[in-house]
A and B are shown apart, each in its own frame.
Chain A
Amino acid sequence: MLGALIIVFREVIEAGIIVGIVMAVTRGVPGSRLMAGAGVLAGLVGASLVAAFAGALADALGGVGQEMFNAAILALAVCMLAWHNIWMASHGRELAAEARKLGQDVRSGARSLTALAIVVAVAVMREGSEVALFLYGLVASGGTTSNDLLLGSALGLVAGAGVSAVTYFGLVTIPARSLFSTTSALITLLASGLAAQSVNFLQQAGVVSIWSQTAWDTSAILSDTSLLGRVLHTLVGYSDQPSVLQVVVYFVTLATILALSRAFAPRPATRRPEASAAHPN
């Protein structure tokens, strides 16, 4: 039972952290709970479909369907996170500061919510499909132990939801003033880590073959399959044996998001009349 619990928990931990972060980021935005719920639900449906068609997916695109699919949905998540962060940099700060209720901004805010709902859906789908396959294996093999294992799996799922809760409540205790910069930093690191994962699948598929040598091996110090390793893997993209290309992509993504956020951010606090006139919004 403990084995099943650990396996399921390990799979859901990443999705759990991401859901927690997204909920903390969107706290107080009208409709955000609904969006997060819809994201989780869509992710679960997607996970079941991916699991059900795992065989067909593996055979697709000349045998690299699984890798290309994973690379594509991770890339989608990276784009959504990056877009959200840059949008927040250009609007969020003033929204939070002035708590304006503008039809235009609420609608744009809803669009940003959609982006985050997609991120939640992708995270749940990726992790969920592996859990679904594992559970299917348990049910298919039957036997007297399978009920015990299913109980363990259920507890693993509950523990994963607990990770969401811990992440969420941990983040919302941060004072509102610094919550914005904290979550922006978290999302930037998260996106960079996902970009590195995406590239890993492209390398695995054989689509990209440059810089495939291992950049470093810290598996003896901190394995990324350990609990702490998993958490850091999600939060900051830690990997114990990354390829050189993964490292490069990680930092390029990081730099790109930071640069674009800065480029689109409004001028700092010294508000001049002509500046607000030039950007009436």
Chain B
Amino acid sequence: MNRTLQIVFLGLALSLAGAPGAAFADDATHIQLSIKGHRFDPAEPTAPAGKPLVIEVTNADPTPAEFESKALRVEKVVAGGGAITVRVRPLTPGRYRFFDDYHEATTVGFLVVQ
């Protein structure tokens, strides 16, 4: 019985871990963000509503950052001098706050969806 259980859970773990890679929607709107001196540039990018988004975050600082947004449900480390891409679901109009989790006091921005 234990054996069976183990196999079932191992199988579950593996099937979850090996889920197929992301299919990239080509109609996505791309947004470029950079972090420099612990500031986002632009601090208030705009995006169209109802379309999937791809946000590219470049970290020009030598220190790591964690690009995070509760509303966008994003949490991703950006190495110092590195860059990341995050995919965001189609959004309804509004202001969506994002920040660097390591420097939340200064590194804050809003995604303005219209």
Interface residues of A (CB under 8 A from B): 3, 7, 54-55, 58, 61-64, 66-68, 71-72, 75-76, 79-80, 82-83, 86-87, 90, 108, 111, 129-130, 133-134, 136-138, 140-141, 198, 200, 202-209, 212-214, 219, 224-225, 240-241, 243, 264
B window 68-114: CB within 8 A of A:
70-71, 73-80, 82, 84-87, 89, 101-102, 105
| Contact status B84-A83, CB under 8 Å | no
The smallest C-beta distance from B43 to any residue of chain A, in angstroms, reads 20
Q: Which residues of B contact A137 (CB under 8 A)?
A: 63-65, 80, 102
Instruction: Known A64-B22, A204-B86; judge A87-B5 contact (CB<8 A).
Output: yes
| Contact A241/B70 with A58-B79, A58-B82, A72-B16 known, Cβ cut-off 8 Å | yes
B76:A66 contact, CB within 8 angstroms: yes
Please give, as numbers and ranges, the residues of chain A lying within 8 Å of B79 by CB-CB distance: 54-55, 58, 133
Contact (Cβ within 8 A) B63 A140: yes
Give A175 Cβ to nearest chain B Cβ, in Å. 29
Count how many pairs of residues, one from A and one from B, have CB atoms less than 8 Å apart in the complex.
122
Is there contact, CB below 8 Å, between B13 and A204? no
Q: Would A54 and B102 count as touching, CB distance under 8 A? A: no
Contact A206 B22 (CB under 8 A): yes
Chain B residues with Cβ under 8 A from A67's Cβ? 76
**Which residues of the partner chain A approach B23 to less than 8 Å between Cβ atoms?**
206
Q: List 29 A-B contacts (CB under 8 A).
A: A54-B82, A58-B76, A58-B84, A61-B22, A63-B85, A64-B87, A66-B84, A68-B19, A71-B16, A72-B16, A75-B17, A80-B9, A108-B2, A134-B102, A137-B64, A137-B65, A138-B63, A141-B62, A141-B63, A203-B89, A204-B76, A204-B86, A205-B22, A207-B19, A213-B89, A214-B71, A224-B70, A240-B70, A241-B71
Q: How far is the CA of A80 from the CA of B5 in the complex (A)?
A: 11
By a CB distance below 8 angstroms, the chain B residues around A205 are: 22, 87
How far does the alpha carbon of A70 sit from the alpha carbon of B76 in the complex, in Å? 10
Q: Shortest Cβ distance from B89 into chain A, in angstroms? A: 4
Contact A206 B63 (CB under 8 A): no
B89: A residues at CB distance < 8 A = 203, 209, 212-213
